[in-house]
Structure 1
Amino acid sequence: MTGTPALARPREAPSAAPRLAPPQRPRRPGQRARARRRTLWIYAFLLPTVVLYGMYTLYPMIASYWYSLVEWNGFTADQRFVGIDNYRAVLADPMFWSAVRITVVFMLIVTPLRVFGAFFLAILLNSPKLPLSSFFRTLYFLPVVTTTAIVGVVMRFVLDPASGPVSVLAGLLGLGPIDLLGSSATALPTAALIYVWKFFGITLIYWLAALQTVPKDLYEAARIDGAGAVATFRHITLPLLIPFLAIITVLTVEDCFHAFDLMQTMTAGGPFYSTEIIEIYVYRYAFAATIPQLGFASAAAVLFGLLVLVVVGAQLWVTMLARRSGARA
């Protein structure tokens, strides 16, 4: 009796053996020496930057925290430890809170003009139908690369009530001499407008970069569907730029805390302390006073740094929210 042959099981394909990375050949002594020399040259070129950054940035930042706890005029070696008395004196000084108020008002004037003005101008300059768009971009960015102190000095000459071009033009129009920087009511808005003009190109570049992220396919689809320019801007461009609006706004707000060089060269905090922002307040006690109070000024600078840190924290928080909203969209 012969049995039926058993069905042959399908033969399993042999599993592929894991490929091992080819063994690296050890470097020769000459190659190791050349790599070591290359690394040493890299560190040698970085060393001057590291040393200068440590001397003129890191050390003053760290030293200011110690100076804020002592009473010191900067001329003698005697430093008397007073703890938080300097912070108490700064917080009790009404001029400090006046400087904070002026800084906030300056920020509230500058930020909307830079953010929204640059936004609408970027929309125009981003249009392919606009002739000489590259020329206008360069024209608006030229003040950014100009030294801020030089801009302040030139603007003092331009706005001089005796012989400045603005006063001469106002005289020809029968308006009489105009002293925009010499009046407490007009000095701060005038300085804010000059600051907007000086750094307008940076915000413009931000918006132009943001507009490049909008896919062109969406514009082509909208054009095929018969959407006009207003509808395309409202339903495509604007929703996609909302996350950038939050980020650019926070960057502009942070930038408003660094107007010392322009304000110092134009008004030096005057007239009657009407343009004394926090940076000029610190400078006045640290360097411009007859007897400098470096401890008091350092305490004010530390408090100013804490204010900047709050803005930076808000920037990180807004950026995180913008990324989340962009991911959901």
Structure 2
Amino acid sequence: MLIGAGVSVRSRQGPTLARRMWRHRWHYLFVLPMIVLYLLFTAWPMVASWVYSVFNWSGYGPMTDFVGLANFRDAFSDPLFWRAFRNTGIFALFAIFIQMPLSLLIAIVLNNSALRGRNIYRVLLFLPVVTTTAVVGVVFAVLLDPSGGPINEFLLSHTFLDRPVNFLGSDHLALPTVLVIDMWKGMGVTIVYWLAALQTVPAEMYEAARIDGAGRRQVFFRITVPLLAPLGLVILLLTFVTSLNAFDIVKVMTDGGPNGSTEIMQTYIYRYAFQPEGTPRFGFAAAVGILFGVAVMLMSLIPVLMRRWQQHRSEGADR
């Protein structure tokens, strides 16, 4: 009886984990290349960075000079580190408070079915996204050239300026210039996000609001914004993470200059690891990368916590 009961219990529990894995062995075989690539190029570099960060290592030869937390202390005491951190934060704030609202307004216009040629406008706005960043940087560097650049020539010929402006060579203008170009380059993705979110708003809500005599401003703030708020937090997180990937445009256009005015965390790390003035400081670059990664993870928690707070609030209102 006990043997029969044991067999019946095992039959109800189903096959063991090993048998289930063997049954789906072909599935695991097809997933194996992705797992191997992930371990080699994502998981291992993340783990290795923590090891490198506690050594004074140039990237060549064995790691023998253990320095503990000295690399982290050097980063905190470097003024250029804090400038790069501040500039990276400016990129994020610019994307959240300028790019996101502007993209929402453009998406609302493009979502209007009465707009003629709206698909053409969508393609034109999304075209910079699929354009190579290096090409964008080189083209704008030529356009903004103070000596014979088309933009300066236009402004001078129409008497808007009395002398050429060095947009990329000025400590005060370089960062705003790169910010605007980076926004123009990536704004199409945010517009697509908002367009997808606007499709979730029922058209009946707008029709009912028009029947009740609501104006455009009332419709926007009392219907569109509340219904887009849950997806807006997701778009906020995506936009925030994307804004931190400005290495390519900064590297091509200014290389962190002039005088570090456009230095961001990625160019700062790259400079010490692969483009040093003297001996490479690979361990120091790894330490800075860890600090930057921890800061990004902590800041990324803010939209998640806001989302959970919003869910708890809505659940409490339903009760």
Distance in 2 (CA, whole Å) between partners of 1:40 and 1:246 is: 39
What is the match of residue 294 of structure 2? Answer: 306
Of residues 44, 48, 62 in structure 2, which corresponds to 1:59?
44
Deviates more, 1:94-103 or 1:277-286: 94-103
What is the match of residue 318 of structure 1? Answer: 306
C-alpha offsets along residues 35-66 of structure 1, whole Å, 9 cap, x if unaligned? 96xx5554343333222222222211111110
Tell me, yes or no, if the aligned pair for 2:55 and 2:63 is still in contact at 8 Å. no
SS in 2 for 1:81: coil
Tell me, yes or no, if the aligned pair for 1:191 and 1:263 is still in contact at 8 Å. yes
Aligned partner of 1:156: which letter?
A: A
Q: CA RMSD in A?
A: 2.2
SS in 2 for 1:65: helix
TM-score (normalised: structure 2): 0.85
Alignment pair present for 1:125 and 2:125: no
Distance in 2 (CA, whole Å) between partners of 1:232 and 1:87 is: 51
Of residues 246, 257, 262 in structure 1, which corresponds to 2:244?
257
Gapped regions of structure 2 (runs ≥ 5): 1-21
Distance in 1 (CA, whole Å) between partners of 2:74 and 2:144 is: 37
Distance in 2 (CA, whole Å) between partners of 1:274 and 1:163 is: 24
What is the match of residue 228 of structure 1? Answer: 215
| Structure 2 CA distance for partners of 1:160 and 1:41, relative to 1, 3 Å | farther
Deviates more, 1:120-129 or 1:40-49: 40-49
SS in 2 for 1:70: coil
| Structure 2 CA distance for partners of 1:79 and 1:179, relative to 1, 3 Å | same
Of residues 181, 186, 190 in structure 2, which corresponds to 1:203?
190
Deviates more, 1:160-169 or 1:300-309: 160-169
Gapped regions of structure 1 (runs ≥ 5): 1-34
Larger Rg: 1
Distance in 1 (CA, whole Å) between partners of 2:31 and 2:223 is: 46
TM-score (normalised: structure 1): 0.82
| Structure 2 CA distance for partners of 1:223 and 1:260, relative to 1, 3 Å | same
Aligned partner of 2:285: which letter?
A: A
Tell me, yes or no, if the aligned pair for 1:183 and 1:271 is still in contact at 8 Å. yes
C-alpha offsets along residues 99-139 of structure 1, whole Å, 9 cap, x if unaligned? 11222223223322211101111111111111111221121
Deviates more, 1:169-178 or 1:126-135: 169-178
Report the CA distance between 1:224 and its aligned residue: 2.8
Aligned partner of 1:221: which letter?
A: A
What is the match of residue 11 of structure 1? Answer: none
Distance in 2 (CA, whole Å) between partners of 1:195 and 1:232 is: 31
Distance in 1 (CA, whole Å) between partners of 2:29 and 2:147 is: 55
Deviates more, 1:51-60 or 1:296-305: 51-60
| Structure 2 CA distance for partners of 1:115 and 1:225, relative to 1, 3 Å | same
Distance in 2 (CA, whole Å) between partners of 1:326 and 1:203 is: 26
Aligned partner of 2:132: which letter?
A: T
Aligned partner of 2:296: which letter?
A: V
What is the match of residue 158 of structure 1? Answer: 143
Report the CA distance between 1:309 and its aligned residue: 0.7
**Whose helix fraction is larger, Structure 1's or Structure 2's?**
2
Alignment pair present for 1:180 and 2:152: no
Tell me, yes or no, if the aligned pair for 1:149 and 1:261 is still in contact at 8 Å. yes
Tell me, yes or no, if the aligned pair for 1:167 and 1:178 is still in contact at 8 Å. yes
Report the CA distance between 1:143 and its aligned residue: 1.2
Of residues 91, 97, 104 in structure 1, which corresponds to 2:89?
104
Distance in 1 (CA, whole Å) between partners of 2:130 and 2:65 is: 44
SS in 2 for 1:130: coil
Alignment pair present for 1:291 and 2:276: no
| Structure 2 CA distance for partners of 1:203 and 1:273, relative to 1, 3 Å | same
Distance in 2 (CA, whole Å) between partners of 1:155 and 1:319 is: 38
Tell me, yes or no, if the aligned pair for 2:91 and 2:244 is still in contact at 8 Å. no
Of residues 78, 82, 85 in structure 2, which corresponds to 1:93?
78
Q: Percent identity?
A: 44
Distance in 2 (CA, whole Å) between partners of 1:321 and 1:78 is: 46
Tell me, yes or no, if the aligned pair for 1:70 and 1:79 is still in contact at 8 Å. yes
Distance in 1 (CA, whole Å) between partners of 2:36 and 2:145 is: 43
